[in-house]
Structures are given as structure tokens and as C-alpha cells.
Amino acid sequence: MKRHYYKICQIFCCLCLTFFLWSCQATNETKSKEPKLIPTLAPLVPFDNTIVDGILVSVADRAILLSDFQKLLYTATEGKTSIDANGKLSGGEITPEQAQQMLNFFINQKILEVKAALIGIEVSEEELTQKINDFLTQQHLTQTDLEIQLGKAGKSMKEYRSEFKSEILKQELIGKVISPLVTVTDDEINNFYLHETGQMKQITGAKLRSLMIQIPDNWTKKPLQTPKILEVTKAISKGEKFIDLVKKYSMASDATQTLGILPPKPLAQLPIELRKKLQVLKINQVVGPILIGPSAFFFEYLGPDFSHNSELKTNYASWKNKLLNKKLDERLASYLKQERNNIRINERPFHISR
């Protein structure tokens, strides 16, 4: 089941760039049911049992038809699963939750289309033709192959170009609005690699920022209960910037010059409490207080150091792209969630079940 679901997800992701092929796998019976659209808002009542097609979701002035979602589901499951107007799934192994994720993805695509139009992203006919030719080359298809596919789908070249242009606009929007907000640092890449692989043996050390507080002589019995340590602990729990706390509280003689930054520490020299947590720590996470001699320390984790011949250094560009893609997905999800509140969306009551 898990392997099958991964396969579904792989196919589904490809739909972003191959939207025009959905209908190529649809039956002649499906093609004959062309909807006659009058309203632009999805009605807030369920489909009745006699419905052939209709608006399932409206996003601003754009509609997702029941037949659109049926085609998407049919293609993503390689023809194994269908869904009726009551949301009943038949065939295949896809779950209602997975089908709902597909519908949500479809809605997100429409949101991106709307936003692209609102901010004035445009694609000329010449650019469109060039991108179509590039796409055909990448897919090892000829113009004749495309025309055959479209003929089987009962789709005109004009319709195909319109759908392809819509996809380009969405990708342009992501590149213009989302991508500039996503960056990664070397330390983030190092930490991402460590979390993904657990390769502690390749680490040569860790980068840390420290805040040191000397324990007063009259607090030696309860050293971690001193007022300053409690103040720092409370400030950290409130999310205050650690570097500001270093400036305010650290008693290290060079704190104002170094801002608490320590030279990279070999693993063997790290406090045991810190070393045990290294694999699960996040960048800028603070550990402490830790007693070392007559002082207490708080450490902000800034990332690991790796040996020059490590697998990370050898494949650094690949790991950087993996992290960039992960952060891009997270930022895009946040953007879409925000835009759902800014764009009028009507969803017809539609409970997906088995």
C-alpha cells in the first residue's frame, strides 16, 4: 500500500507540468459530457443523484468541475479509481484522505492561477511556443505525437495552449513571489544533512554561541536557581534573541567583542549534555543551563562542522538543492494558506468516502 501511494504521489506531482494530458486517458463517454456553465460560484448544496457534471469548487472567477476532479483522480491512479457525484470512491487502493489531498492540490493550483493574473504575470505567444517546444523535447515527443494525443482526447491545439500557458503562469508566480523568500545557509545545509542521515562520524565539531554566568558563593548549594540564571531561562522560553541575552547577561570577559561565538569545538570537548542532543538540535536552539566548574553556561547551537572528505562535502550541491526544495515547499504551503483567506473560494459540500 505504501509503495502504491508513493507511486500515486509521483504521478500526481507530474501533473503540474502535464496538465494537458489528463484528457488523453479519459473515455469517449467522458468527453461527450461537456458542461454548460452559467454560475461562477460553486453552489453550497450537494450534487443530486442525477447530476452529470457541475461546479465542485470555485476560486474567484475560476471553476473546478466534478469532471475535472474525476479526470485527475483517474489519471493519478492509472485508471484504477473513479469517484461519483456523491464522493464515493470505486476501485484502486487510494484512501479518502489521499483523494482529498488531491482535491486540495487542485484548489491550490487555481489559487496560483488567480494570483498570477492579479499581479500581471504575462506570457507572450512567442514565449509560449518556445516553452511548448522545449517541453516536447524534454519528453522526447514530436509535434506529431502531440497532435495524436490531442486528437485522442478530443482537444484542440488552442485548448492545449491555453492550459499550458496557465501552468507557465503558475510557475512564473512561484519564481517571482515565493523563491526570493527562500534562502539557505551553510550551517542549515550541514544541520539538514545531519538530521537526514544521522552521520555523526563525519562531524569534526560544532559551532556554538555561549552565555556564561558565574555562580555566586552564596548559591553553591542551588547553583541553577540563581536569579540571573532564572531570568535568562525565562527570556529564552519567551523567544528572545540569544545574542541580545549574551550582550545583557554574559559575564565572559570577551562577550562584547565576540558576542559569545566560540571557536569550533571538537565533539570530544563538548559537554556531554550537548553532545547527546547534537543529532536532534535545530539551528539556533539553546541548551542549558549546564554547570561547568564555578559557572553555568547556555549554548546556542549554530551548526555542525564536517570533514572535507565527507559525503556531504562531496555532494554539497545536491544536499543544498534538497534543502532549498524543502523550504520552498514549506513557504509555498504557508503562502497558499494565507491566500485562501484573501480569495473568495466556494466549495460545494462533497464528502469523499469508500
Question: pLDDT digit string (tens) for 67-99?
Answer: 989 988 887 888 889 999 999 999 999 999 999
Same domain, 279 and 243: yes
Q: Is residue 315 part of a domain?
A: no
Among 210, 353, 235, 237, residue whose Cα is nearest residue 295: 210
Which residues share a beta bridge with 89?
Answer: 83
> What global pTM score does this model have?
0.58
For residue 41, name the pLDDT band (cuts at 50, 70, 90).
Answer: low
Q: Quick one: 41 and 112 in the same domain?
A: yes
**CATH number of domain containing 245:** 3.10.50.40
What is the rounded distance in angstroms from the CA atom of residue 165 to the CA atom of residue 194? Answer: 40
Residue 46 lies in a domain: yes
Q: How many domains does the chain have?
A: 2
**pLDDT higher at 181 or 230:** 230
Residues 18 and 166 in one domain: yes
Q: What is the DSSP string of 151-171?
A: HHHT--HHHHHHHHHHHHHHH
pLDDT for 289-336, tens place per residue?
Answer: 999 889 999 999 888 877 777 788 888 899 999 999 999 889 988 998
54: domain CATH number is 1.10.4030.10
Environment class of residue 228 by beta-carbon count within 10 Å: exposed (0-12), middle (13-18) or buried (19+)? Answer: middle
Co-location of 234 and 177 in the same domain: no
Q: Which domain holds residue 137?
A: 2-181+334-347
**For residue range 207-265, what is the model confidence (pLDDT) as tens digits?**
899 999 999 888 878 888 999 999 999 999 999 999 999 999 999 999 989 999 988 77
Q: Is there a single domain that holds both residue 141 and residue 245?
A: no
Q: Give a yes or no: residue 189 inside a domain.
A: no
Residue 105 lies in a domain: yes
